[in-house]
Structure 1
């Protein structure tokens, strides 16, 4: 079985999550807005409903839709 085509990687130490679509690096997302822009650029203009679908998006090393590391701001 193949993994999800969209991978939102672990939160970086300084904040943000690297996003890959079908193995292509799209950038560092600091919010759902950033993530949706990357998906629009990848040809998925109406991707908001996909963010919580594990068949489409794999959230690695943290909760879905979180972009800041734990600890003090």
Structure 2
């Protein structure tokens, strides 16, 4: 891993997407754990970051539900 960066995944919006912020910068709106993994790779984490890593990582602050919450009812 390049460095430890604060990662925040915000609550699902009305369409089920979740805003992802890394090191203070909003990288986009994820619709799955795979999307979050891709954002983290683009931010400089190792290429082997995948959905399982995202689900288990203690580096991610999940707001409004954990890694399984993707609907607006979360």
The answer to whether the superposition gives a TM-score over 0.5 is yes
- Give TM-score, length-normalised by structure 2: 0.75
- 1:25 aligned counterpart, secondary structure: strand
Which 4+ runs in 1 deviate beyond 6 A? none
User: In structure 1, how many angstroms separate the alpha carbons of the residues matched to 2:19 and 2:65?
Assistant: 12
Which position in structure 1 is the counterpart of 2:65?
62
Where do 1:30-41 residues align within 5 Å? 30-41=31-42
- Give TM-score, length-normalised by structure 1: 0.76
Cα RMSD (Å): 2.0
- 1:38 aligned counterpart, secondary structure: helix
Give structure 2 stretches of 5+ with no counterpart: none
User: In structure 2, how many angstroms separate the alpha carbons of the residues matched to 1:25 and 1:51?
Assistant: 19
Give structure 1 stretches of 5+ with no counterpart: none
Deviates more, 1:56-65 or 1:15-24: 56-65
Shift of 1:9: 0.5
User: How many corresponding residue pairs?
Assistant: 67
